[in-house]
Chains A and B, each alone.
Chain A
Amino acid sequence: MDIDWGYFLKTLCNALSEGSIYALIAVGYTMVYGIIKLINFAHGEVYMIGAMVSVWLFVDQQLHLAIVIPLAMLICAALGLFLDTVAYKPLRNSTRLAALITAIGMSLILQGVVQLITPNYHALPVDTTATVVGLDKVEALAEPREGAEPVAKVRPDQSRPILDNTHPAFVGVSWRIKAGEDPVTVWLPRAAVRVEQGLPAALDTSVVGDVEFATPSQPDTLEGEPAVSVFRLPLKDVLVWITAFAMMGGLHLLVQKTKIGKAMRACALDQTTASLMGVNVNRVIAFTFMVGSAMAAVAGILYSIKVGGGIFFRMGYYPGVIAFAAAVLGGIGHLKGALLGAMLLGFASSFWQGYANWGLHALVPGAGSKDLSPYSFAFCFLVMIVVIVFRPYGLLGRAGADRA
């Protein structure tokens, strides 16, 4: 059977991006679980708030991405600290179920608060097409004429401008001044306009490189269709991978090479002994929450850059559950396991979406128009269950270290 390699590579690329985001969420679960044996149900909400905060900083406050990422991480780290101090710390000595219920309660509270503040935030556009700055000082023209008299001053804060770059000396800027009215277009001298393009918008169309493949002969291809399948490696996905892997690598170094990392590992092994050795267990736990939450914030930022929408108060639940499944699948308490599990689930989800129907029709002749694509998440869980049933401590977990 002929295989469309371009399509395969696209699916692979999507799978890697999806897995990267799950991995960043999963490390938060796995670290917290490794130390205090708590399924932190509110972690998905930290991810959601990370996405919200990044969109707010990036779009509403017009900050640069290099500032947005650390700031959002800091805010989410503070949120993690808050969660631990207010909700979980008082419950250190009570049953784990009580802590679990508290986590569920905190998850509901965070969702509720976000919903009260921004009920419809998911409608917010992430890709500012362009921002024209310094217009207060610039005179605007109604027509692109060189040396013409200025006719109007336009305030750019009403709506996002749309640029017309067709004229060599002028930039046409259109705004919708009032909702429901026709947009007003003015022409500004090119030199007088500084255009700052939002990073996601720039990323949207950027491509690292094209790879061309000869497409296998497809009898049902429409006539005139070029017989090449072009695979574009989008810069956006590459950015997601690099950020995610850099973060994971940094975290690995933090846990393995630093003093606080050693303390974290010690606490995960045996809290009592660790405290006897002079480790401030509560501080280590708080730090773990902060680091995990900062990672979730990065996941939120990457999601908002990648998808550019769908940001609303319930967005954290499902990625949270999948990421937790990934953490368990990899062997809970293991950073590498979380990465492995997340990648596995990312691949499961994307490849199911991409190939399930194709496989069904190839294998079952009478399948008709049965559509299997809604089952992609179910397939993720199935993979997780099969692994857990045959390796009850996850892929990298060891039976000796009873983490359950």
Chain B
Amino acid sequence: MSRWHFAPLFVLGLSLCGCPTPTDSGGGGGTGGTGGTPSGEAYRIAVAGPLTGDSADMGASISKAAKLWEKEINAKGGIKGKKVELLIEDDKGLPNEATNVATKIASDDSVCLVVGHFNSSCTKAARSTYERSGIVEFTPGSTNVTICKESPWTFRNLYHDGTQGIFMARYAQKALGAKSVSLVYENDDYGTGLKESVAAECAEIGLKIAGEAGYQRGRLGDPKQLATTLQSQKPDVIIVCGLYSGAALLTKAIRNDLGWGDVKIFGSDGVMNAAFVGTAGETAEGAMVVTPFFFSDSGSAEAKAFREAYRAEYKADPDTWAALTYDALGMVAMGIDAVGADRKALRDWMAGVKTKDAGYTGVTGVTYFDDNGDCPGKPPMVVVVNNGEFEAADPPSVPVD
């Protein structure tokens, strides 16, 4: 009996002493934003995203693109002769997990910047931790409107949902000829925020909203009833503000179970993933999806080079999120090259990239920031599923302003 009593103490000691040793704590002086001293001879950049969980397919794209970038840049000799190491962290797509991950990253002084998170809810949950520790959070996927506006330490390299919502409403009206739309949304930051933005614009342009229906991510037990409800609203277009996993099941239920063929399905950029087509199969045909970027054959040289490299590495096509992650990392490398790996210096450098000329030209176009840290240079466009592949829709875009 008594020997057991030492076990808890031992394990407790192990788990507590297992925490970083004093060498990690950086002297504790408590000055914000002065971390980022690279340990040893490598620059460390953190990449955080949903490697597991409901949006794991997007996390997989992000981590693949990040690893490809790491390999390429180190093959080129790194940045300023130093190697680059990526710290890839999993937030599971859950806000509380994102906070834990952020705490871990922010307290690691060797990390100079964070590329992430992906889900808007995670980016927001982690944001204040990064802000208080003075480390830039550079998201390649979160589009919720307030993300960059509310923190000087947060940047992104794609449009935000204000733009996306306006765009979706106008596209539905002008390009798809919709007279009434139904809004389906995932009730997290991303889905709810985008839905509100679409609804506001619908009111603005006089597009009738036939109904709204929300569901919880990962808990869309039976999508058929949701589809039935939507059918009773008789919309011309169903706008889905959510992720591919839910959208695919809903699409399937609409097309297969209800045999409802004459409604157009218009997904937000969270649907932009090959897994959408993978799950929905044939029923995905004709579904339209908003995306910040799309690999087309007439694309830029950077895009073609990236696609080739990605195909050679993974035997699969890169998607939008892979490209955005790759670009975000490329831009960070440009920053480190310019001002070094100091966390504050990197923030100031990024905040200073305010014109197209000063911006970073990458796979997805030119990244530069406005006063909030939002990326004004990349308008949304629409793709359509044709023969199981995303293709540029006709028309690919409508004017937003």
Contact = CB atoms under 8 A, between A and B. Distances in A.
* Residue among B199, B209, B218, B231 having the largest count of chain A Cβ atoms under 10 Å: B218
Interface string A6-21: 0100110011011000
A14 B234 contact: no
B26 interface: no
A15 B222 CA distance: 10
Nearest to B185: A371
B96 interface: no
A373 B232 CA distance: 14
Interface in B51-99: 52-54, 56-57, 60
B228 A11 contact: yes
A307 interface: yes
Given A180-B316, A232-B259, A309-B279, A377 B225 contact: no
Given A127-B281, A129-B282, A310 B275 contact: no
A18 B221 contact: yes
A353 B275 CA distance: 26
A389 interface: no
Contacts of B275: 120, 122-123
B103 interface: no
A318 B219 contact: yes
B296 interface: no
A interface residue count range (under 10 / 10 to 19 / 20 to 34 / 35 or more):
35 or more
Contacts of A232: 258-259
Interface string B196-234: 000100000000010111111011111111101101101
B348 interface: no
B300 interface: no
B252 interface: yes
A354 interface: yes
Contacts of A176: 388-389
B212 A120 contact: no
Contacts of A207: 259
A371 B252 contact: no
A349 B221 CA distance: 10
B234 A312 contact: no
Nearest to A312: B54
Contact of B252 (A179, A309, A373): A309
Contacts, number: 145
A205 B259 contact: yes
Nearest to A204: B256
A92 B179 CA distance: 64
B221 A354 contact: no
B245 interface: yes
A234 B257 contact: yes
Contacts of B222: 14, 17-18, 306-307, 349-350
A243 interface: no
A207 B387 CA distance: 26
Nearest to B56: A120
A371 B213 contact: yes
Interface string B250-285: 001100111100000000000000010011111000
A95 interface: no
B225 A18 contact: yes
A162 interface: yes
Contacts of B316: 179-180
A350 B213 CA distance: 13
Contact of B232 (A7, A204, A222, A322): A7
Contact of A373 (B219, B229, B257): B229
Contact of B248 (A221, A306, A309): A309
A180 B53 CA distance: 26
Interface in A180-195: 180, 183
Given A120-B57, A225-B234, A180 B317 contact: yes
B278 A125 contact: yes
B10 to A, nearest CB: 21
Given A124-B279, A222-B234, A14 B209 contact: no
A318 B221 CA distance: 8
A271 interface: no
A28 interface: no
Contacts of A293: none
A120 B228 contact: no
Nearest to A314: B218
A195 to B, nearest CB: 15
B225 A350 contact: yes
B397 to A, nearest CB: 24
Given A119-B56, A125-B281, A353 B245 contact: no
Contacts of A217: none
A223 to B, nearest CB: 10
A302 to B, nearest CB: 11
Given A179-B316, A222-B234, A353 B278 contact: no
27 contacts: A7-B232, A10-B231, A14-B222, A14-B225, A15-B225, A18-B225, A119-B52, A119-B56, A120-B57, A122-B279, A125-B279, A174-B387, A176-B389, A179-B315, A183-B388, A205-B259, A306-B224, A308-B279, A309-B249, A310-B245, A310-B249, A318-B221, A349-B221, A349-B225, A353-B225, A354-B228, A373-B229
5 residue pairs, one from A and one from B, having the closest CB atoms: A123-B275, A204-B256, A309-B279, A180-B317, A374-B214
Interface of A: 4, 7, 10-11, 14-15, 17-18, 115, 119-120, 122-125, 127, 129, 160, 162, 174, 176, 179-180, 183, 204-205, 207, 221-222, 225, 232, 234, 236, 306-310, 312, 314-315, 318-319, 322, 349-350, 353-354, 357, 369, 371, 373-374, 377
Given A123-B279, A179-B317, 5 more contacts: A179-B315, A232-B259, A309-B252, A371-B212, A373-B226
